[in-house]
Amino acid sequence: MAATHPTQNLFVCGLHRSGTSLVTKAIAAHPDVASFKHTDAIEQEGQFLQAIFPTDQEFGGPGRFAFDPQAHLTEHSPLATKENAALLSAKWAEFHEPGRSVMVEKSPSNLLRTRLLQALFPQARFVILTRHPIPVALATQKWTHTSPFSLVAHWVQAHALLEQDLPYLRRVMILSYESFVADAAGTLDRIWQFAELPPHRAEIEAEDRNQAYFERWRNEFTQSRSIANQFGRFEQIWHRLRKKLKRATPEQQRLERLEFGRRSDAQDVVVAFEPAVRAFGYSLTDFSLAPNRDGPGTPMKLVPMPEYAVPPSLRFARWNEGSLLF
């Protein structure tokens, strides 16, 4: 029988356009799972239904928030108090169905605050969703108008921070968007087992939309001249753009970033980020590769993160200083 109040928090974590809405909707179809429905919150995300911790919008929003070091919240945060846990539970209870044993919540910035959420809710479980960085970047670009280079850099930054946090998490399941759309029913069975929920057959349509983004990548970005070859070092690119943006009006800044995005070349992205992307089971040169990390309720760990060829100025760059607003 379902509990009067949720006894477990199940947090879905993943960058914007990683498939978190699809997976959360599928999980919410379980009769023992409470979720947010029909609220005014963007994508029914719990981050917009509380006032305890900042939303990802306060750190720049999609494609930017992981560049702000303040977005990375752990058990050492002053927010990690029993009082805040009680306030957060009470606030979220206003928006989800009563009488369920599990409450599912998804927000992209959960990816960088798993340790804080675990400190607030010691019984919490985390379903972490990854997706190939090219579809994530191109799907996010319509909101950010930043370059693929900047967006893949953000993907790497966010997942590098996740890799640092994983050893501290007690209950975590990592699965890929690619494995979910390939076998939604089988993946949900493993999620039920991980969350200690009874089996349930959910009707979910999961279409693989990666191929359209891969085709766009090939058509729009692999034939252009490499910015890296044109200007030499990546640091020089960022330095020149920052100087230009400082002298520009807001409209000129917007146009400059859009122009940079159009000129961004696949080669620049591959040279800078292929080693890091490979560490997470993907490849910027072989789109057939995808990780297979999910398991039957077993905490999954990413492979150790190797050193990767990203200039030091990239790591933890503040988005609002123009460092990566390409």
How does pLDDT run across 1-37, given as a tens digit for each residue? 333 456 799 999 999 999 999 999 999 999 999 998 8
Whether the pTM exceeds 0.75: the reply is yes
**CA distances to 26, 42, 85, 235 from 53, in Å:** 26, 16, 11, 34
- Give dist(CA 12, CA 29) in Å, integer: 14
Give the pLDDT score at 145: 80
Cα 158 to chain centroid distance, Å, stands at 7
Each residue's pLDDT, cut to its tens digit, for the chain (326 residues) gives 333 456 799 999 999 999 999 999 999 999 999 998 888 888 888 888 898 999 999 999 999 999 899 999 999 999 999 999 999 999 998 888 888 999 999 999 999 999 999 999 999 999 999 999 999 999 999 888 888 888 998 999 999 999 999 999 999 999 999 999 999 999 999 999 999 999 998 888 888 999 999 998 888 776 554 444 443 445 555 555 556 555 555 655 554 454 444 445 677 788 888 888 998 899 998 998 888 655 433 333 333 333 333 333 333 332 333 333 33
**Distance (Å, whole) CA 285 – CA 15:** 21
Superfamily of chain region 8-210+289-305 = P-loop containing nucleotide triphosphate hydrolases (3.40.50.300)
Can you give the pLDDT at residue 41?
87
In this prediction, residue 236 carries a pLDDT of 57
Q: How many CA atoms lie within 13 A of 323 on its CB side?
A: 18
Give residue-wise pLDDT tens across range 98-109. 889 999 999 999
In the prediction, which pLDDT does 291 show?
Answer: 84
